[in-house]
Amino acid sequence: MAREMISQGNGIFEFTAQHHHNNDVKTRFVDALFRNDWDAIAPLVHPDFELREPAALAYGGIYKGIEGFKQCWELIPKIGHKTERLTTLRNHFTEDPDSMVVELETSGVHNETGEKFTSKVMEQFEFKDGLVIAIVLYWFDIP
């Protein structure tokens, strides 16, 4: 007799005040990042913040704190790639307001080879105490 697939979640949930707060924090964080406004980013980041980039990237690794994030942000165009386009496609929310996934599409030029690339990237934002505690990146096609 075949077994039916059982869902791991109910698929429908109500947004809480914490969902809205964390989405606002993420939006302000990203807006400040693209302005290179590190003073505006600092109060949005938890003291135990970590940025986790895939090891297959030239700048891959775990970067701790806002200084670590800034170091990675500066390394990307130096040793990784030059981004020509970065478009947010969707934000994915779940019952857990402290976890959100942002779906992006990016394209650019790989520094080492000069080749153009396009890739989908997923950024998993994790929150603690209403602040960003971690961002984990998942690249579908490593440049």
CATH of the domain at 57: 3.10.450.50
pLDDT tens, residue by residue, 49-61? 999 999 999 999 9
Task: Count how many domains the chain has.
Answer: 1
Looking up tokens 């929310």, which residue turns up? 93
Q: How many CA atoms lie within 13 A of 54 on its CB side?
A: 14
Q: What's this model's pTM, rounded to 2 decimal places? A: 0.88
pLDDT at 103 over 70: yes
Q: What is the pLDDT of residue 112?
A: 87
Domain assignment of residue 111, yes or no: yes
Domain assignment of residue 43, yes or no: yes
pLDDT at 18 over 90: yes
pLDDT tens, residue by residue, 64-85? 999 999 999 999 999 989 999 9
Domain assignment of residue 108, yes or no: yes
Alpha-carbon distance of 140 to 36, in angstroms, equals 26
> pLDDT band for position 35 (50/70/90)?
very high
Note down the domain range covering 81: 17-139
Domain assignment of residue 11, yes or no: no
Domain assignment of residue 113, yes or no: yes
